[in-house]
Every structure is written in structure tokens, then in C-alpha cells.
Amino acid sequence: MSVDAATVRRVAHLARIALPEGDVAKMQAEINAMLGFVEQLNEVNVDGVEPMTSVMPMAMKKRADVVNDGEIAAQIVKNAPQSEDDYFMVPKVVE
Amino acid sequence: MNAHVRAADPKQRIKGATGDWEIVIGLEIHAQVTSQAKLFSGSSTAFGAEPNSHVSLVDAAMPGMLPVINEECVKQAVRTGLGLNARINNRSVFDRKNYFYPDLPQGYQISQYKSPIVGEGEIVVDVTPTESITVGIERLHLEQDAGKSLHDQHPTMSFVDLNRSGVALMEIVSRPDLRSADEAKAYVTKLRTILRYLGTCDGDMEKGNLRADVNVSVRKPGAPFGTRCEIKNVNSIRFIGQAVDVEARRQIGILEDGGTIDQETRLYDPGKGETRSMRSKEEAHDYRYFPDPDLLPLEFDDAFVATLKAALPELPDAKKARLVSQYGLSAYDAAVLVAEREQADFFEAVAKGRDGKAAANWVINELFGRLNKENKDVGASPMSADQLGGIVDLIGEGVISGSIAKQLFEIIWTEAEGGKALDPRAVVEARGMKQVTDTGAIEKVIDEVIAANPDKVEQAKAKPTMAGWFVGQVMKASGGKANPAAVNEILARKLGLG
């Protein structure tokens, strides 16, 4: 598997990463090198092997339905570049 | 794909310039799970809080925060799956659905993609009280709600409130089994009723706790499915019906002019009565799903499901069948009563130890009629089931006539609104509302009416239906208290109509 320049630009856009046009070729080469490395795994036959979801066999922890968090609006918006009345403010986005 | 597909009743087809068209509808319902805390955090789900107050560091997606699943939300999803007669998957997986939007701080929504918690099921939908269709459920999965953006607070900025961010939603996907706006509305109505019976979603559409994405396509009868458009976030049952009709007509118009339908996401504008393309997200539609590495698969055993199943309440279909068989109600009356669990409960309290049909008649026609007029639901009824039952008793025992009973209802209702709970029997005694069954007294009134109207007596002899006029006069003269059966009988004799 390998990616072309258009795919590199698209992935960057989907991840909202600014990628100068001059860097596309370099990034494409790096990604393809990585994909090539990972490609080696295809040599292993994994027919009938369940995907591993956890190193230790364990069940997912669950929480009780209890409200024990929140009510910290000032802290939540503290790092926001702009806020008002505990709302985050962002450049206008209207569908 | 076409195997499991209902054909539309020919009368549901839409006439076009090139012949009949059939509408094909599938619905994705987003139902907010009833729980105290959010799906993966301990902050509150309560509606209407100050901005960003019901938000934890997990909901705000601060670095290093990890989700821990709320067990009650899992139970609610399983209960709902059982209520939809669906397959419960003892193992399901949470995935990340990636997209960028300011009200989604994680940059992805935790959802379930390939392995949902609930698989295929079906529900019976009552299109009319006596006509029903079976609608397939494709799946139900758990996912997080996003936050809320406000665009009208500032000229150049949007305001973001994350109170809803992370609240648990159930996405319930139907098969494309619906064939008209009425069927779509009936489906949502029934689904909402089931969710409310189960207590897994309050179904409050005004608060956005139940919203629908409506998939609409059209085809010539028997043809393969057409290209569909998805109308996003329709938030009332009435608008769902309107959106289906408007969108179907738009598509038929394009196809009959030789055009093609673009598969896209649209919005319904109730003010203008049209659907509009939402453009934008087209490219971003690449969600790049992958299993969320922060969460292990969700697993439970059969005993977990069995315990929940054993505790399920009686559901609307079973309740309807029982009301018909136990109380002898018509399918129509039973359907009206079971639409809300509280209504059926109120009816059963009135019907206990009484005639079921009479009880249903008074509950539906008088009480619900009155509640509707005053925009109240049955929980807010000033009149209790005991009081209404008391009125039904008095009619049954022949103590009062039907028309007096309506006056009595009025008195009890008005006093109850003023905070005074009166006993119907005591009111009848105190106000002298008892039916007159003393034939002597009734005869006296009839004699008076006959004596005062000799011309009408002649008419009645020629035309026996005139007797009705006499009955009216006698009832009026007795203040509605004369026993109607006795009046009829004596009148017939006196007028020589026997």
C-alpha cells in the first residue's frame, strides 16, 4: 500500500493540519516508508486469530450512574483563547 | 437488499406526470438515554443548566482524560433492544467516528460501527387503531451526543456549550420499510411510546431528546430503490411527515424532468415548506472509523440480559391486547388508552370493579376531552380516578342520568381545580340531582306537557317520531332528572303510540 500526493493533502485537511505545498512530496515519502515497514506484517498468517483488544485478559470497567463530576465551568473554559459567560467562543460556524 | 421490502399499498402512491411513484422511507432516531450521568463521565445529564456547568474534563476532552462507561446506559440500551424484539449482542465494540466541529471537542464521536449492542428486531406500528404494519429494526447502537453551538449571540463568533457533550444517545435505525408520511409518523409515535413505557428515553422532542434523520427515496412500483437523500435532525412528528412529502415531491419533479438525484444530506425548513442541501460536509463524510483504543469491548452474559428482561414493564402491544380481552374494549379505545402508560393506568384505576366500556367511555370522551382542551396530560388531571369512578357508579346504579352525569362531572372538575376534592355521591345528595324514577311524578310532568300542547299531540299521532319532541320537553321540565326509559314508556302509552 502507498499513498499519492492527493491523498496526503486530503489526510492533512481531514486532520486540520496545515501542510505547505512544498512539504507534500517529503511527507508522501515518509508516509510511504512507514506503510512499507508495516507491510511486513502481511507476511504473518492471521487466519482465525481474534484481534487482540487488551494485553491482559480483562473485562471493561464500568461506572455507576452517579453524578460526581462537572460544575467546574470556569476551569473548563480557562484555556480557551476567547470565552464569554462560560461559553467557548469560536469563529462563526453556520451550516 | 430488496428481499425484506414491503410494497406500498396502491393508495399510498403518488401520482406523477409519468405514472405512479412509491415513496421509500427509513428512519434513524436519536434517542437520549434516560440516566443521571453521561455515557463515559460522571457529569450530569440534566437539561437547562448554565453553560458548560455539566461538563467534566472528560467531556471537554482535556488531554489524558479516559472514558469509563456508565453501566446504567448499557442496561437502558439492552432494555430498549428487548422492547424492540431485537437480538442483543453480548459483545459489542466502541469506535471513533472522526470529524471536526467546534461542538465536538474530542475531534471524534465515540459510537458503535461494526458491532452494535443491539442487532435486528421489529416492531408493530399502528397506522390506524385497527390497521398495523411490521417495521424492521436494523440495529441500535450507543453513542455520545455532541455539544451545542449558538450562532446568534455575536456578529462574528459562535458560542459553544458542552453540557450535552457526552450524554448517551441510542441511535435506532429502521429498515427502509416505510411507504408514506403517515407510516413514518406512526412509526416514530410507536417507537416513542415504547421508549417511554420502558423508561429508557423520555421522548421529549421539544428538548431535542428524540430527533430523527429521515431517509427518503422514490421509485416506480416494483423498481429497485432510487437514490436517497437524508433529511437531518427533524424534531417533531408533524415535521417528519411534512419533510417526507416535500422531499418525495422534489425528487419526483427532478426525475420526471429527466434529472438524477444526488445522494446528499438536506435540511427541512418548516417555515418555507422545503428541503435544502446542507452542502459543506460532503468531503468531510470520511469518518475514518476505528476501534477506540481507550475502551475494551463491551461484554455481558445472558444472565445480565435475562435479569433486565424479567423486570421489563408490560409494553403497549401486550397492554392493548389485555385491555381488549379483560375489559371488552374496542381496539380503537384500547389504542387511545395505551398511547401513554399513565393514561392506561388511570383507566384501569377507574375500571377496577366497574364496567370497562363505561369506564373507557368516560375516561376517553369526558376526561381526556377536557384535559386536551386545557392542554394538560393525565398526570395533571385535577379529577382523581376515584372521583370519575364514583360518577360511573352513579350512572350504573341508575341514580343519575347521563346528562346529569355530565353536569356532575363539571361540578367535580371545577371544584377539584379549586383544590376541593368532592365525593360525587355526596354532591348528588346535597344538590338533589338524583334521577326521578317515581312514575307518578313523571306522569304528572307528562300530563302537563300534553295538556299544554294539544296540537303537537295530534301531530305525534300521525307521525310517531314526534314523540322525541315530547321526551325533550319532559326532560327539560324535570331538570334532566327524569329517568329516560320511564319517560319513553309512559309517553308512548299516553300518546297512544304503544
Do B199 and B323 belong to one domain?
Answer: no
- Preferred mutation among A13, A54, A67 to probe B, highest tally of B CBs within 10 A: A67
Better-predicted residue by pLDDT, B129 or A84: A84
Based on the domain organization, do B329 and B270 belong to the same domain?
A: no
Pick from B430, B449, B479: which residue ends a domain? B430
CB contact under 8 A, A88 and B159: yes
Mutation for A interface: B43, B47, B55, most A CBs within 10 A: B55
CA-based max dimension of chain B: 98
The pLDDT assigned to B498 comes to 56
Which region among B2-6, B55-59, B78-82, B128-132 has the lowest average model confidence (pLDDT)?
B2-6
| Same domain, yes or no: B338 and B470 | no
User: Would you tell me how many other CB atoms lie within 10 Å of the CB of residue B139?
Assistant: 22
pLDDT, tens only, A22-74: 999 999 999 999 999 999 998 999 999 988 777 888 889 999 999 999 999 99
B159 vs chain A: nearest CA distance in angstroms?
A: 5
The pLDDT assigned to B129 comes to: 77
Across the beta sheet with A87-91, the strand order is A83-84, A87-91, B157-161, B148-150
CB contacts < 8 Å between A and B, how many? 138
The tens digit of pLDDT for each residue in B335-393 reads 999 999 999 999 999 999 999 999 999 999 999 999 999 999 999 999 999 999 999 99
Residues of chain A with a CB closer than 8 angstroms to some CB in chain B: 10, 13-14, 16, 51, 53-54, 58-73, 75-77, 82, 84-95
Work out the percent of chain B whose per-residue pLDDT is above 70.
97
Give how many domains chain B has, as a whole number. Answer: 3
Q: Are residues B207 and B351 in the same domain?
A: no
Q: Is the pLDDT of residue B3 over 50?
A: no
| Sequence-ordered strand ranges (E) for B147-248 | 148-150, 157-161, 168-174, 210-219, 229-234
Give the closest-approach CA distance of B273 to chain A in angstroms: 18
CA distance B188 to B216: 15
Same domain, B332 and B233: no
pLDDT (average), residues A9-23: 92
The reported pLDDT for the residue numbered B5 is: 61
Residue B279: closest CA among chain A residues belongs to which residue?
A: A95
Same domain? B23 vs B105: yes
B42 and A68 Cβ atoms separated by less than 8 Å: yes
Say if residue B415 is in the same domain as residue B443. no
- Say whether B154 and A71 touch across the interface (CB within 8 A): no
Asked if residue B2 is part of any domain, the answer here is no
pLDDT score, position B6: 72
Q: Does B5 map to a domain?
A: no
Boundary residue ending a domain (B263, B285, B307)? B307
Decide if B42 and A70 are in contact by the 8 Å CB cutoff.
yes
Among the candidates B260, B278, B307, a domain finishes at B307
Whole-number pLDDT of residue B442: 87
Q: Residues B201-214: what's their mean pLDDT?
A: 96
Is the same domain home to B231 and B362?
no
Residues B235 and B265 in one domain: yes
Q: Is residue B250 part of a domain?
A: yes
Structural domain boundaries of chain A? 5-43
**CATH number of the domain enclosing B472:** 1.10.10
pLDDT tens, residue by residue, B16-40 = 888 999 999 999 999 999 999 999 9
Give the separation between CA B457 and CA B32, rounded to whole angstroms: 69
For residue B262, what is the enclosing H or E element? none
Chain centroid, CA B382 distance in Å: 22
Pairwise CB contact (< 8 Å): A93 & B284: no
Residue B130 has pLDDT above 80, yes or no: no
Same domain, B71 and B34: yes
B156 Cα to chain A: minimum distance (Å) = 5
How close does chain A come to B37, measured CA to CA in Å? 5
Residue of B429, B404, B423 whose CA lies nearest to B481: B404
What's the complex ipTM?
Answer: 0.90
Lowest mean pLDDT among B183-197, B249-263, B420-434: B420-434
Checking if the pLDDT of B417 tops 60, the result is yes
Same domain, B288 and B154: yes
Domain annotation covers residue B1? no
B113 and B132, same domain (yes or no)? yes
Q: What is the mean pLDDT of residues B398-411?
A: 90
Query: Does residue B92 sit within a domain?
Result: yes
Residue in B52, B69, B101 closest to A63 by CB: B69
Interface contact B44-A67, CB threshold 8 A: yes
Q: Is the pLDDT of residue B283 over 60?
A: no
Which domain range does residue B382 map to? 311-430
Q: Name which of A17, A88, A92 to mutate to probe chain B: the one with the most chain B Cβ atoms within 10 A of its Cβ.
A: A88
In a domain, residue B3? The reply is: no
In a domain, B15, yes or no: yes
Q: How far apart are CA B275 and CA B250, in angstroms?
A: 9
Cβ contacts of B108 on chain A, cutoff 8 Å: none
* Residue B47 included in any domain: yes
Indicate the length of chain B as a whole number. Answer: 498
Tell me whether residues B71 and A63 touch, CB distance under 8 A. Answer: yes
pLDDT of residue B2: 43
